[in-house]
Amino acid sequence: MPSLQTRYGQGKIGCVIWLLVLVVFFFACWKIIPVKIKTAELYDYMEEQAQRATSTPPEAVKKNVVARAKDLGLPVGPKNVTVTRRGGRVKITARYSIPIEFPGYTYVIEIDHVVDRPVFAV
């Protein structure tokens, strides 16, 4: 039967490693989740603009999308957004990348939003 001295202290390194993994995970979530929420908000706004594209010229839609991206703090400029209207469809595309800084590492998220909707005359 092993003595009490050999049992004490065993497994502490595993606890420290798991605690370190959890801290890194929560730190990454703290940095990435707000960016993902902002990009989802921009995509939703692009869908709204595509639904209202009947009465709005493509340049105004592009200007609105870029302005909304700036409000959200996303690095989107006029070069990153294209709006085309062909036949009965409108297509809004936004391509951009967001760098996320971690200690000693920069993670770049590549975003490619494409909204392609039919245009209905009201």
- Tens-digit pLDDT profile for residues 83-111: 999 888 999 999 999 999 999 999 999 99
Question: Which position has the higher pLDDT, 15 or 10?
Answer: 15
Amino acid at 30: W
Q: Could you count the other beta carbons within 10 Å of the beta carbon of residue 59?
A: 10
**Domain edges within the chain:** 33-118
Average confidence (pLDDT) over 116-122: 78
Which pLDDT band, with edges at 50, 70 and 90, does 5 fall under? low
- What does DSSP assign to residue 1? -
The rounded mean pLDDT for the chain is 89
Strand partners, 94: 81, 113
Strand partners, 99: 108
Q: Is the pLDDT of residue 29 over 70?
A: yes
Task: Tell me the C-alpha distance between 47 and 116, whole Å.
Answer: 8
pLDDT of residue 66: 97
